[in-house]
Structure 1
Amino acid sequence: MLGLRWTGFDVRGRVVAITGAGQGIGLELARILYRRGASVAMIDLDEVKTLSAARGLGERAFAVRGDVADRAGMVAALQAVRERFGGIDVVVANAGVTPAPATLRTMDPADFDRVLAVNLTGVFNTVHPALDDIVAARGHVVVVSSCAAFAPGMGGSPYMISKAGVEQLGRALRVELAASGATAGVAYFGIVDTPMTHHTLDEDDLGREVGRLLPWPLNRRITATQAAVTIADGITHRAARTIAPGMWEPYALLRGAINVALDRYLTLDPRTRALIRRLEQRTDESRKGPAI
């Protein structure tokens, strides 16, 4: 970028705010960064679980209740972090939810709104109130997107839509922060072994079928710890993007060509058509309720 270079970022003595820190990737990231010497503000809806996790880490961990879909609430949560630690050097917008499996035709619009409110608008609500701190500290922002941002979205399109939006937010932020010496990066993950994944792909009959449609190696799972290490190392290097598992990298680089072929393949694949029909039938039946 026109000769522009950033030095590495040592998190020792720095303050890192993480959303969705009560479990999964966010909790593992808080543990890793705490061990590396950072003070960690753990923001999550589940105040009891997050408080217990923070106490387990030590005095440099601070639990804050925060709903990323609540803009005023996130302003207050980040102000609480400032009051506790004196400032914010790094923000990781990690909180996210998945929708109930449904097609765009049959889904509840409220479910669409909820996913976008948490996964996309929630990232803005997390990052925006902290940007003055990030600029002053020449710090770093991580927004957690997903390989779902460039994968076909049938049956779960609100999630894919939201993560594609997060990708664009992170790319824009990277360019905008450069003038101040601060940085931003986008984290992409394939399938991460978390409670959210188990609920979506393992505990649901149709979800398991969707998972089986993914070819190897795209169906390979990583642990929440592996995902968190990727983010932590990305912060250290002020990485513009991180992606895990690594076999998603060729897909990411060649997605323009791959998606043209893949979309056509899925459109014509009889297994996909049958799965969509079953999904819509189940959604229609659930909306009608039990027969009397």
Structure 2
Amino acid sequence: MSVLATATGIVRDLGVPLPGRGHYDVRGKVVLITGGGDGIGLALARELHGRGAVVALTDIDPAALARAGTELGSRVHTFVADVRDRVAMEAVVRALSTETGGLDVVVANAGVTPPPATLRQIDPEGFDRVLDINLTGVFNTVRPAIDEVVARRGHIVVVSSAAAFAPGLGGASYMISKAGVEQLGRALRLELAGFGASAGVAYFGVVDTRLAKATLDDDALGAELEARLPRPLRRRITAEQAAEVLAGAIARRAGRTLAPAAWQGWALLRGFVNVVADGVLAADRRCHTLIRELEARGSRP
């Protein structure tokens, strides 16, 4: 492979628009967003609705969906559905296609951030719940929509996390789920490319949502675990900032997008950085103490 071809591939993976790729205008397009009642999902719905899109939101919270529908007014469809329910997600796609005439963009955003726990400590049902929502839920969202997206040469975004490639003490179930989402998105991108449709993976560091606050702010050990990250990587972005990043990624059909930018170096050099980071953390006595404290807390009645 030539140097030029290699450089072009790197730029494409970074989500930088290449000459001739053009701009994907969401005006009039039908966009399905899971987890649309709150956080990043709702912020993205506002952003894309403001750009003229028809937005369809799914969530398990009917009250949140009702508020979102009232706020957005026209060009909005809401569906109460759990991404773990494969039949329900298939029904959402069918109903949306019937109501709007088709589906152009899918954003598989729904996810949960579990309380800190080790693999020895976590309840197996809690582990299954995280993977069922964060990973299998993405499959359940994307799979029934692929034919629609291909037919309309649209775009799919799966929301992963910097946790997919960075070590996270006490967060193995979340890391595993987001690493799986990353690979699902990469595979999907390759599968859709030959049909004129596209897909991409979005990675975020810490987004200041209700879920993040409950895990990292309201939980003393969660806050201490976060403090083990270098200061630049602890920088938080708002749900609105994350939504702007996602909207921009859709507009340029990005194969990959990441925010905040401080994570970029780690993401690109992960093969080297992770070898060093894993060794350092495994030898860090403070990390040993935090894990013991976490497991001791979990063993209390």
1:63 is the counterpart of 2:78: yes
Cα offsets for 1:147-174 (capped at 9, x unmatched): 0000113201010000000000000000
Partner Cα separation in structure 2 for residue 6 and residue 121 of structure 1: 31
State the secondary structure of the residue aligned to 1:13: coil
1:50 is the counterpart of 2:65: yes
RMSD over equivalenced CA pairs, Å: 1.4
Q: Does the aligned pair in 2 maintain the 1:44–1:66 contact within 8 Å?
A: yes
Note the C-alpha offset of 1:30. 0.2
Note the C-alpha offset of 1:6. 4.0
Matches within 5 A, 1:1-292: 6-285=21-300, 289=301
Q: Does the aligned pair in 2 maintain the 1:55–1:61 contact within 8 Å?
A: no
Q: Give the TM-score normalised by the residue count of structure 2.
A: 0.93
State the secondary structure of the residue aligned to 1:188: strand
Cα offsets for 1:73-95 (capped at 9, x unmatched): 11111222112211110000000
Note the C-alpha offset of 1:58. 1.6
Partner Cα separation in structure 2 for residue 59 and residue 200 of structure 1: 35
Count, aligned residues? 286
Note the C-alpha offset of 1:24. 0.4
State the secondary structure of the residue aligned to 2:299: helix
Partner Cα separation in structure 1 for residue 99 and residue 106 of structure 2: 15
Note the C-alpha offset of 1:66. 1.2
Cα offsets for 1:205-254 (capped at 9, x unmatched): 10010111111100000000000100000000000011000111111000
Q: Give the TM-score normalised by the residue count of structure 1.
A: 0.95
Partner Cα separation in structure 1 for residue 231 and residue 98 of structure 2: 48
> Structure 2 counterpart of 1:104, which letter?
L
> Structure 2 counterpart of 1:85, which letter?
T
55-64 or 177-186: bigger deviation: 55-64
State the secondary structure of the residue aligned to 2:55: strand
Q: Does the aligned pair in 2 maintain the 1:100–1:111 contact within 8 Å?
A: no
State the secondary structure of the residue aligned to 1:69: coil
Cα offsets for 1:86-143 (capped at 9, x unmatched): 1110000000002221110111000100000000000000000000000000000000
Moved over 3 A (4+): 1-7
> Structure 2 counterpart of 1:275, which letter?
L
1 or 2 for the larger relative contact order (CA 8 Å, sep ≥6)?
2
What are structure 1's unaligned runs of at least 5 residues?
none
> Structure 1 counterpart of 2:96, which letter?
V
